[in-house]
Chains A and B, each alone.
Chain A
Amino acid sequence: MFAFCTDPDTLPQWQWFACYLTSGTHLAFYWSFVVVMILLALAAPAALVMGLGGALLMRARFAPLRWLGQGYTAIVRGVPDIVFFLFVPIAVGQGIEALLHQVRCPHWDMPIWQGNDFIVCPEARVPPRGSPSWVRDLYGFSLAVLAFAVVFGAFVGNTLHGAMRAVPRAQMETAEAYGMTRGQAMRRVLLPQMWIYALPGLSNIWMILIKATPLLFLLGIQDIVYWARELGGAKTSRYTYPHPDWRVWYFLAVLVFYLAVTWASQIFFERLTRRVGRGLATAESARA
Chain B
Amino acid sequence: MKTPLTLAIGALAFAASGALADTVRMGSEGAYPPYNFINDDNELDGFERDLGDELCERAGLDCEWVINDWDTIIPNLVGGDYDTIMAGMAITEARAETISFTQEYLPPDPSAFMALEGMNYDTLMESGVIAAQSNTVQAGVLAEMDGVELLEFPTPDETISAVRNQEVDAVLADKAFLADYVAESGGELVFVGDDQYFSDGVGMGVRQSDDELRETFDAVITEMKEDGSLNELITEWFGEDMDTF
Contact = CB atoms under 8 A, between A and B. Distances in A.
A220 B37 contact: no
A143 to B, nearest CB: 15
Contact of B42 (A28, A129, A220): A28
A238 interface: yes
Interface string A166-188: 00000000000000000000000
Nearest to B46: A238
Interface residues of A, number: 30
Contacts of A247: 161
A233 B41 contact: no
Contact of A122 (B69, B80, B157, B164): B80
A236 B164 contact: no
Interface in B56-93: 66, 69, 75, 78-81
A285 interface: no
B33 A117 contact: no
B176 to A, nearest CB: 11
A27 interface: yes
A10 interface: no
A185 B42 CA distance: 57
B184 A230 contact: no
Interface in A233-250: 233-234, 236-242, 245, 247
A237 B40 contact: no
B121 interface: no
A27 B41 CA distance: 9
Contacts of A118: 79
Interface in B163-205: 164, 180-181, 184
Nearest to A109: B2
Contacts of B161: 233-234, 245, 247
A174 B66 CA distance: 64
A275 to B, nearest CB: 44
A242 B181 CA distance: 11
A119 B39 contact: no
A117 B41 contact: no
A30 B104 CA distance: 39
B139 interface: no
Interface string A99-122: 000000000010000001111001
Nearest to A130: B22
Interface in B81-137: 81
14 contacts: A25-B42, A130-B25, A133-B66, A233-B157, A236-B184, A237-B180, A238-B33, A238-B34, A238-B46, A238-B180, A239-B33, A240-B39, A240-B41, A245-B164
